Structure 1
């Protein structure tokens, strides 16, 4: 870990030994949508199992895994239980934040929180320290706004400000949230309505990395000292934001599906003062698309 600044290596590179024992790394997995079986990927559980199998081949294990939401497709008990079983095969600690597909059960989040929300605040937010980095997990799916925009709400924003208040501005911060904290596409619900208040609390820190899911593809935005990264899904691709009448599963030729799916491995190197970067790697690996 270099000055606590995250960089990234793809799962394929990590499996080839790019990560050393001196590096601190963690894995991001997102939008597993366990239970999805539509034409865009009739075997989403199978592609998740492929991802888990690849993680098992890493020569140096990440410290932990973060799941940035949409564990399930329809918030069903059976989906959550199957997700727990398959993800448990990774054999590493996993920190979960909810996606909008995880909060549509009749209990309005009870199925998710009873399994993945233990020890979190309110409806699923939390923070922890690892190797000198402060990690924050946010829930911006519990109160969606018009068009499906995410929302944090006053209670969570007040908690976030208090959580960050005692930290030195030199502390590296990694923020997890399902819906992007920058507006990728407002009409398609690819943004968070009150993100500006959260970012105002984060802007004093020298290195902030925000990891999101939701849009099922790699996009990157850098605003000052804050770098935003979205991740691919392990289940199915979606159209580029704003390039289709509505968000949703994108069917591609079966032989091309895996190049649209992936996982990201984030490394933290000592002595590196660059802004964080991140990429997701598919099967087979393909270069990420960057958005500026």
Structure 2
């Protein structure tokens, strides 16, 4: 249970945590509430920070001038890390003509948080076509992150044509199987899973990886906070678009005995949260281009927005949550 996927002296970005939403009518075609559809669609380019204190995960989506940072919430003893996702380096299209510039701004944002994250996690689709040059570019860019360690899991775009071999040459040092691993820090146990290599319609983990999870969790106390990273959601967000993992229930069954489980994914290019029992799922935003909300259109293709709307969509969201509060405090701002 060592730090297996970090490279150089850095790690990878972006994360988020929110309390369960109040019950309200759902949109039957998506399984989401109307509030969630409005709140979670369309925003990207933001750094989202998770602070873990006393077994509780607290959210804070980065804002350069926000006085309510994880440092003020958690003090110096807390764990603070960042999740970034879906940079799609190599993408060329009208949805975003400068994904490299967008990812650079996200890195700059992380580096101006006002504190040094304990690590940064990139939850996949680092590249768009999984070429060696694209992997080298994103790796070089992430060495500029102001953190001690950077971690990654692959997306399906990181496995184009070769089953992830080029990705593992670039980022898979000391990982297990097809790139999965685990590590512990600050009393929290982290699992980084790969569910993008056996794609037919949905994400897939496979028996070898599920057996790894079973053995990995066996010796842990049930009060150990667990955080799980994957690219494709581990819940059925929208299976018709492949936004689900067909054998995730086997892993979730292994996690039932733990009091606090947080699953963080990318892939869907929009913010979304869901709580089922002891597990809370959070889909991350992207630094590349927006995708439509589930069921809005025939397929999850990049959304082309007018220039002003795209600038508005490229932004950061500050989220503050304190123990005992009834709601999140949310502030949206554009990237410069």
Q: Normalising by the residue count of structure 2, what TM-score does the alignment of the two structures yield?
A: 0.77
SS at match of 2:70: coil
CA distance in 2, matches of 1:129, 1:266: 26
Runs of 4+ aligned structure 1 residues displaced above 4 Å come to 13-17, 261-269, 277-283
CA distance in 2, matches of 1:281, 1:140: 33
SS at match of 2:110: helix
Instruction: Give 2:228's aligned residue.
Output: 175
SS at match of 1:187: helix
CA distance in 2, matches of 1:69, 1:281: 26
Q: Where do 1:205-244 residues align within 5 Å?
A: 205-244=258-297
CA distance in 1, matches of 2:317, 2:188: 18
Instruction: Give 1:51's aligned residue.
Output: 106
CA distance in 2, matches of 1:278, 1:163: 34
Q: 1:278 to 1:227 in 2, by over 3 A?
A: farther
Instruction: Give 2:58's aligned residue.
Output: 7
SS at match of 1:113: helix
SS at match of 1:12: coil
Instruction: Give 1:112's aligned residue.
Output: 167
Instruction: Give 1:284's aligned residue.
Output: 334
Instruction: Give 1:290's aligned residue.
Output: none
The one-character-per-residue Cα deviations of 1:66-91 (angstroms, maximum 9, x if unpaired) are 11000000001111111011111113
CA distance in 2, matches of 1:228, 1:135: 14
Contact 2:68-2:320 at 8 Å conserved across structures: no
Instruction: Give 1:288's aligned residue.
Output: none
Contact 1:4-1:172 at 8 Å conserved across structures: yes
CA distance in 1, matches of 2:65, 2:262: 20
The farther-off stretch of 249-258 and 89-98 is: 249-258
The total of aligned residue pairs comes to 279
Q: 1:208 to 1:14 in 2, by over 3 A?
A: farther
| 1:103 paired to 2:159 | yes
1:247 positional shift: 0.9
Instruction: Give 1:33's aligned residue.
Output: 88
Contact 2:63-2:317 at 8 Å conserved across structures: no
Q: 1:43 to 1:278 in 2, by over 3 A?
A: farther
Contact 1:15-1:59 at 8 Å conserved across structures: no
Instruction: Give 2:41's aligned residue.
Output: none
SS at match of 1:39: coil
Q: 1:188 to 1:127 in 2, by over 3 A?
A: same
Which of 186, 191, 194 is the matching residue for 1:139?
Answer: 194
Q: 1:49 to 1:153 in 2, by over 3 A?
A: same
